[in-house]
A = this chain, B = another copy of it.
Amino acid sequence: MKLSESTTGPLPGSAKIHRSAPGRPDIKVPFRRIELGGGEKPILLYDSSGPFTGQEPIDLAQGLPPARSWLEGRGLEARQALAPQGLEHPAPRTIRRRPEGDEAPFTQLECARAGIVTDEMVYAAAREEVSPTWLRDEIAAGRAVLPANVNHPELEPMVIGRKFRTKINANFGNSALSGAGPASMADEVEKMAWAIRWGSDTVMDLSTGQHISPLRSWIMRNAPVPVGTVPLYEALERADGDPLKLNWEDFRDVLIEQAEQGVDYFTIHAGLRLAHVPLTASRVCGIVSRGGAIMARWCLAGHRESFLYEHFRDICALCRRYDITLSLGDGLRPGAIADANDAAQFAELETLGELTKIAHEMGCQVMIEGPGHVPMDKIADNVSKKDAFCGDVPFYTLGPLTTDVAPGYDHITSAIGAAMIAWHGTAMLCYVTPKEHLGLPDRDDVKEGVIAYRIAAHAADLAKGLPGVQAHDDAMSRARFAFRWHDQFNLALDPERARAFHDGTLPKEAQKSAHFCSMCGPRFCSMKISQDVRDEAARQQGMEAKSAEFAAQGGKLYVAA
């Protein structure tokens, strides 16, 4: 059972290379290398796409080779997994966890606090081109997380935090309408691989259909990026879809099973409390988070406190044994412009701050989820409030969508908000596809959503002035000025579309080195005239000298005629 050819192989003009982490020849991290013309050095880009842009074919039933080979030697409690019944499945493997009662540093947070630089940190630091000790200190302070369940050896470790490249997440998963055989499992993995190929840094499996558990085995064994879930969905499925039948014991069983499968982060809506529910009464769109709505229903029906809130320490204790990162869900995120930044949203956020302290105290990594639907003028306040209530733990937001009037284009309404909130400090952006609010995203929608979010993340990183980020833009700009069309295609986030669009007007190979483009033609080309200007100026007396002269005059213009 092979991954389809269109979902594997290097991007056009790019090669996947591996470089050893500094001082660690045994740890090799991936980069996307683009060879350039015009005498320019190749450019290396951060590469989250894993084997899905590699040369090797991928056998889904086999799963990916382990990137974290070092897990073997950590001396963890281990047992052999049972092969699931009735469905073709990647090979059984070892299930690991922290030994019972062992208090040696184990989670990335505990290790970082103890001054230990883990192999995962070395790997992630090499990808970001930063020092591993600096990265460790960011984790120790809670400002960054490194989601890496010990049961996910296929993971290529990465870090999420406001001082690192902004990350993006894509959601996928089956629904009640999906099939249950190996073919439909392969379809889901294919969707995931497609999102990762185009640049998704993490994925969330939001399956709510049949056979959630075996599907997740397929996903985990083929995921080179951190995988997140909302365990409440599986719990609800087990409770026959009735929120009132949910209880802590069944929920815990779901957590354990998913932990053993290797899920790297759990979205837990533990901050939504009974007292918050009345605050949503006057909202235009009520509660739009599924997890939030389920918990609100549960709390209200029995007029009782959320079992997630009451058992939060138990949840932390469990996550700590596998090093699962907690992503504290915003069950009361606004689902409409009218509901943005309201009392319900911020009351829950305040509770998330309380839970953050508990999780940190227990050695668990934490990030905070955020909205949603927010007009531009209220975006910055979401970050400030998160900082005020929860400190500078990583913020992980969905968009936000900056208007409600454009269904069919919500990748754009939300890319605007996503770019802005990431600039203000969000560490990871959950994507939105064009189908949001309307239907199930297909392969094209997934790609549109991922690229829109790669744009938002990159625009934010540029605005934040992260080192090295602008080199990519500058390489593109130089290629543009020099009419190196192939370089422009290859440097693009989507080389295939860039080339196809150029081919649409000027398909011939000779036109790929033409010193003009189809928009203006040779006569009107500003770039060409601009080059003429430069040549002319050089001939006359040297523009640089002229420029210096101008500056020396205090920047005064010639006297007006």
Cβ-defined contact, A403 with B284, below 8 A? no
CB neighbours of A72 from chain B (8 A): none
Which of B177, B287, B462, B558 is close to A529, meaning CB atoms less than 8 Å apart?
B287
Please tell me if A402 contacts chain B, counting CB pairs below 8 Å: yes
Known contacts A278-B537, A438-B517, A555-B347; is A459 also within 8 Å of B530 by CB?
no
Cβ-defined contact, A544 with B498, below 8 A? no
Chain-B contact segment, one of A16-24, A123-131, A144-152, A411-419: A411-419
Cβ-defined contact, B281 with A534, below 8 A? yes
Cβ-defined contact, A524 with B236, below 8 A? yes
Q: Could you say how many copies of this chain the assembly holds?
A: 2
Q: Which of A301-357 contact B (CB under 8 A)?
A: 301, 303, 305, 309-310, 335-339, 343, 347, 350-351, 354
CA distance A208 to B520 in the complex (A): 8
* A541 CB to nearest chain B CB (Å): 9
Please tell me if A452 contacts chain B, counting CB pairs below 8 Å: yes
Cβ-defined contact, A473 with B338, below 8 A? yes
Which of B500, B517, B530, B547 is close to A286, meaning CB atoms less than 8 Å apart?
B530
Please tell me if A531 contacts chain B, counting CB pairs below 8 Å: yes
* A178 CB to nearest chain B CB (Å): 11
Can you list, as one digit per residue, whether each of A393-435 has a CB less than 8 Å from chain B (1) or not (0)? 0000000001111111101110110011001000000000011
List A residues at the B interface (Cβ < 8 Å).
Answer: 175-177, 208, 233, 236, 241, 243, 273-282, 284-290, 292-294, 296-297, 300-301, 303, 305, 309-310, 335-339, 343, 347, 350-351, 354, 375-377, 402-409, 411-413, 415-416, 419-420, 423, 434-435, 437-440, 442, 451-452, 454-456, 458-460, 462-465, 470, 472-474, 476-478, 480-481, 488-489, 491-494, 497-498, 500-502, 504-506, 517-521, 523-527, 529-534, 536-537, 540, 543-544, 546-547, 549-551, 555, 557-558, 560-561
* 5 other A-B residue contacts (CB within 8 Å) besides A440-B505, A440-B518: A175-B519, A278-B537, A300-B537, A377-B465, A416-B455
